[in-house]
């Protein structure tokens, strides 16, 4: 069995001091760096939004961050402006190893957000990650990164749906945990056969 590590969105804007900081977000860097050499392939995902992206609250007059709206593809949480292309906030954390095999950029289409490393939030537009993994003969994935209850969970659920064996290393993840979103995400992942490692 060939196994890949998927490192999800360990970027400055999701770390302390960033525009959409995940509590303890920088704490995942050291464990992720230590894990990398154990895998046959390492893929990093990178949130990569154009300015004025439709998921930004600032693009919707009268709306505030963390409110929700309905988009053509479903309910969308509105976020603070974050991970804008070419800004330091979109850069990977300075201490993160980026010598992996592939970087997948997502969320660059102005009118649809992208949590998963596999599909945009319309659940139809692929990022190309699945094809890359299939061509490498990879059948098992371990996920780490930010945030457990959004981009990590969506990536894990899509991977399981696509038939990969999926493990989420919770010791190398941190969550936003908005209105019970972490507990809901963990339950959802387990119900779809995702293995949760180091569960606290």
Which residues fall within 8 angstroms of residue 62, CB to CB, at 6 or more apart? none
**Per annotation, catalytic residue among 15, 83, 151, 173:** 151
Known catalytic membership, residue 151 = yes
Known catalytic membership, residue 195 = no
Q: How far apart, in whole angstroms, are the C-alpha atoms of residue 8 and residue 78?
A: 20
Torsion 185-187-190-192 (CA) sign: negative
Give the tokens for residue 191: 């119900």
**Contact criterion met (CB below 8 Å) for 82 and 47:** yes
Helices (H), the chain: 29-35, 129-135, 153-161, 181-191
Give the tokens for residue 133: 């993994």
Known catalytic membership, residue 106 = yes
**Per annotation, catalytic residue among 47, 81, 106, 169:** 106
Q: How far apart, in whole angstroms, are the C-alpha atoms of residue 30 and residue 34?
A: 6
Residues designated catalytic? 9, 106, 151
């Amino acid at each position: 069995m060939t196994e890949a590590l998927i490192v999800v969105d360990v970027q400055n804007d999701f770390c302390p001091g960033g525009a959409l900081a995940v509590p303890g977000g920088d704490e995942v860097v050291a464990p992720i760096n230590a894990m990398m050499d154990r895998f046959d392939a390492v893929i990093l995902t990178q949130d990569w939004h154009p300015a004025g992206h439709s998921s930004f609250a600032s693009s919707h007059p009268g709306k505030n961050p963390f409110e929700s709206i309905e988009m053509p593809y479903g309910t969308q949480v509105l976020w603070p402006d974050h991970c804008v292309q070419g800004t330091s906030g979109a850069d990977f954390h300075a201490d993160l190893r980026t010598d992996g095999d592939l970087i997948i950029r997502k969320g660059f289409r102005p009118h649809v957000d992208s949590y998963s490393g596999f599909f945009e939030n319309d659940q139809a537009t692929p990022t190309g990650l699945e094809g890359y993994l299939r061509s490498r003969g990879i059948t098992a994935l371990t996920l780490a990164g930010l945030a457990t209850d959004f981009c990590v969970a969506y990536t894990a659920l899509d991977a399981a749906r696509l038939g990969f064996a999926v493990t989420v290393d919770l010791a190398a993840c941190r969550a936003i945990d908005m209105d019970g979103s972490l507990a809901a995400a963990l339950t959802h992942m387990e119900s779809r056969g995702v293995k949760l490692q180091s569960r606290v």
